[in-house]
Amino acid sequence: MDVTTPTNAPWLIVGLGNPGPGYERNRHNVGFMVADLLAERVGGRFKRAGKAQAQVVEGRIGPAGPANRRVVLAKPMSFMNLSGGPVNALKDFYKVPVANIVAIHDELDIDYGVLRLKLGGGDNGHNGLKSMTKAFGAEYHRVRFGIGRPPGRMQVADFVLKDFSSSERKELDYFVDRAADAVEALVIEGLERAQSTYNS
């Protein structure tokens, strides 16, 4: 087991996105999509988390026994560039070490549907990560979901705030499912084993 995964501390798994129906299927909201699927898997429904500006589901993942993990799934209800505040509040409330935080987010510099798992690093211009790193440092895990680069001269901001294309949507459910599998593997098996399986 990794030294970064103490069994007595919960994991805080954060899907990054923007709240509201207008953003629901945007590329920038793929973190929310993965978090929603993980909530289904643990049999929970997102609900407002006390004073934190976030929705949460508490549950457990993994087989019975020592590999079983207590998790808090979260969706910040601030906008993307303010994600750090709600996540920091949840971190403090649930007493989660920074190394037990997982951010699920869209990644421009990776081809569509490709996953990369890592611990720490820069924000690569992603405003959600930038806000989280400013709030509590960079040493949290990331599950990076590739969305590719904008076509032609389209601005990055326009691209990430558009829905996935019709051709992308044909495979979206599969890729979201695989990303949820990767999150579970990270939490249960540790980063290196999850990377060897999912860092395609």
Element housing 15 (H / E): strand 11-15
Residues carrying an active site annotation: 28
H helices, E strands: number in the chain: 6, 7
Q: What pLDDT does residue 19 have?
A: 95
Nearest CA to 139 among 109, 184, 102, 106?
102
H helices present in 60-165, as ranges: 84-94, 127-136, 156-160
**How confident is the model over 108-119, as a mean pLDDT?**
96
Closest CA to 118 of 41, 127, 109, 59: 109
Cut 0.85: pTM above it: yes
Over residues 114-121, mean pLDDT: 97
Across the range 133-159, mean pLDDT stands at: 95
Q: What pLDDT score was predicted for residue 176?
A: 98
